[in-house]
Structure 1
Amino acid sequence: MATIDFYFSTLSPYTYLAGNRLEQLAAAHDAQITYKPFDIQTLFPRTGGTAPKDRHPARQEYRLIEMERQAKKLDLPINLKPAHWPTNAAPSSYAIIAAQNAGGGDLGTLVQSILRACWAEEKDIAEDAVIRECLTAAGFDASLADSGLLAGAETYGQNLEDAVSAGVFGAPFYVTGDGAKFWGQDRLDDLDRHLSE
């Protein structure tokens, strides 16, 4: 069975714009996804990147243009400057890690629900109530927001180290079991072709 390590941040607009296409692609290829949320703000300086707020104004402006352009193309609602961004990504990431360990719900739906809360619904994904709502909507026990916090923190930190070791420098980033790498929601077609080979 093909495997895909899915590195992402719950703060990433481009992970939001990927929607459920990764899950559809994995189902078509009978591939298994391992969801690996990580701290993108810590990744940037370690891999030669710059946080959006520290980029040149021309880059900041173009980022917003591209986000709007991609959202329109994908027919997804987006707030280019969410009220609660950036926020603390750790609580939502811990919940995803706990849900992946627990099983029983739809992990893709959970990830997309959290991202949509940030980028389309003006919700603070660091808030317990928002995380619980997303867990419930995806078929998970809302109490996962509270359980496994220590394990979640350890895995969250390890995911960052795994990302650096795997050559990840942004989000979303997809690494297949055979080591192929794809950066960005606009590379999902390339990932699809790779899995077809």
Structure 2
Amino acid sequence: MAKYIVGLTGGVASGKTAVSRLFEARGVTVADADIAARDAVALGSEGLAEVVASFGTGVLAADGTLDRPAMRQRVFADDTARLRLEAIVHPRVRALLRAQCDAAPGPYAIAAIPLLAEAQAAGGGSAREVYPWLHRVLVIDVPVALQRARLLARDGIDEVLADRMIAAQATRQQRLAIADDVIVNDGPLEALDAQVAEFDARYRLLAG
């Protein structure tokens, strides 16, 4: 069981998935908050029932699952709706991540948490208070202009929604403020892999 847990975070389209895969290739367990968030509102779950009670049946797809594109459009256009959804989903996500990391083999595990800085940004307590079981925080940093360009290319959305998605998250400066370590992801994959290799070696030493 892993006794050392690293929180991995970064803004939308910063490269969290690429970094996670590089850690996984080195045998590190990565508990993904995005996957945990889907599990938290899966068909038949208490989380989905609470979402429907709060937002109505209009947020459901024809098969009874959460209509994610419609919900995304709604919450990124309405801060109040976004906070309501987060209040339902986030506590369930934290519990799932902690259980997965605690059960992970190897000296350390990673909890990939896109919104790690947001609790502090929203005045809801520091990231360390919300996730007291994290031993270290690794932030993936990318210039906002590059983040925006990657988001447009990846999701095929318009510029207005892209800007809303970036603005709804913590700022680059707020993420860097909670960082113990930083990966700068503004270059080729080879440069990213070299940085991951360095941090993997560091975390194995710290965990030991």
Q: Report the TM-score, using the length of structure 1 for normalisation.
A: 0.31
TM-score, length of structure 2 as denominator length: 0.29
Larger Rg: 2
